[in-house]
Amino acid sequence: MSRGPDWLSYRRYAAFTTGMALTLISLGIYTAATGSGLACAQQWPLCDGGVLPQSIPSFIEWFHRLWAMITGFLILGAAVWAWRSRGSVSTRGRFAVTLATVLTPMQAIFGAVTVTLNGALPGGYSAPVHAAHFLTGFSIFALLSYATLLAYDGRFSRDALARGRLAVGAGLVGLLVAWVLARIDPVSSYSPVEQAGFFAVSLAAFASLLAATRWLGELDELIPRAATGAAAVLLFVGMVLGRDLVVYSAGVRFVNWLVLATAVALTAGAAWALRGVEPDVSEPAYGSTDD
C-alpha cells in the first residue's frame, strides 16, 4: 500500500497489532480474575443500563471488550494490507496474518459464550469453552508474532548470531520474571494483577523465544535452536496450567514448577552454548521478501 505517512510501514503496523493482542489477552486475564466478565452481560456496548459503565467491574469489562473490538479491526487491517502488498510481504507472512484473522471471530464467539451468553446458554462458562477461548487467543498472538518476524526479515543491522543472543537473553529474563509472578511461587499470591502480569511477561518471553528459534536457524548450531524451541513449547504449557483449566492440586503444581524450571534451564543452556560461537563474517544478508 502506497498511501499513508512515511513512518507507517506494514512491519510496524504488524508489530503494533501484535502488541495490542498481547495487551488484550492480559486484559482478558485480569477481567476474568476480578470476576468482572459478567458485569455488562448482554448489554454491551451499553453497560449498567446506560452508555457508560457505572461501577469499576463494569468499566473493566466494558474497556476489555472495547480493546478487543479495536484489536480485531487492526488484525483484519493487517490481513488486507498483507494481501494488497504481495510484493513486499512473503507468502508465509500473508497466510499467518490471514489465519489470525480467521481465528479472531472464533475468539469473539468463545468470549461471548463465556460471558455475554453465559446466562442464556447452558454450560456457557465451562472448562472446555474456557480452554478454547484461551487457546484461540494464544494462537492469534503466536501467528501475529510470526508474521511480524517475517515482516522484519532483512531489516536488522545485527547478524543472526547477535540477534539470536539478544532474543535468547530477552526470553530468559522474561521467563525469570514470569517465574516470580506464576502461581507456583510461594511469594506470589497470584492476584488479578499478578495473573495479568504473568501472562503479559510470558507472552513477551514466548515471542522472544520464537524469534530466537527463527534467527538461530541461520546458524549451524542446532542445539541452542532446539533448546529455545522446546522452551517456547514448555512456556505455553505453563501458561495453560495457569488458567484454572484443571484442579490445581499439589501434583499439578509440581508439574507446573517442573515445566517452567525446564524452560528456564533450556533457555539458560542455549545462552551458554552461544557464548563460544563466533560470527560468520561471510554470512549473507538475513531474509528476503521471497519464500
Which of these is catalytic: 61, 194, 278, 283?
61
pLDDT in tens, 111-135: 777 665 555 555 555 667 778 888 9
What is the residue-wise DSSP string for 179-210? HHHSTT-TT----HHHHHHHHHHHHHHHHHHH
pLDDT in tens, 191-204: 999 999 999 999 99
Task: Kindly tell me if the per-residue pLDDT of 152 is higher than 50.
Answer: yes
How much is the mean pLDDT over the chain?
A: 85
Q: What is the pLDDT of residue 156?
A: 67
61 is a catalytic site residue: yes
Distance CA 167, CA 124 (A): 40
User: What pTM value is reported for the model?
Assistant: 0.88
Task: Kindly tell me if the per-residue pLDDT of 47 is higher than 50.
Answer: yes
Average pLDDT over residues 51-64: 83
Q: What is the pLDDT of residue 220?
A: 74
Task: Kindly tell me if the per-residue pLDDT of 65 is higher than 70.
Answer: yes
Distance CA 13, CA 9 (A): 6
Partnered with residue 50 across adjacent β-strands are 47
Q: Which range among 93-107, 110-124, 180-194 has the greatest average pLDDT?
A: 93-107
Higher pLDDT, 18 or 108: 18
Higher pLDDT, 136 or 111: 136
Higher pLDDT, 266 or 7: 266
What is the residue-wise DSSP string for 94-139? HHHHHHHHHHHHHHHHHHIIIIITTTTSTT-S-HHHHHHHHHHHHH
Helix (H, G, I), strand (E, B) or coil at 50: strand
Q: What is the pLDDT of residue 290?
A: 40
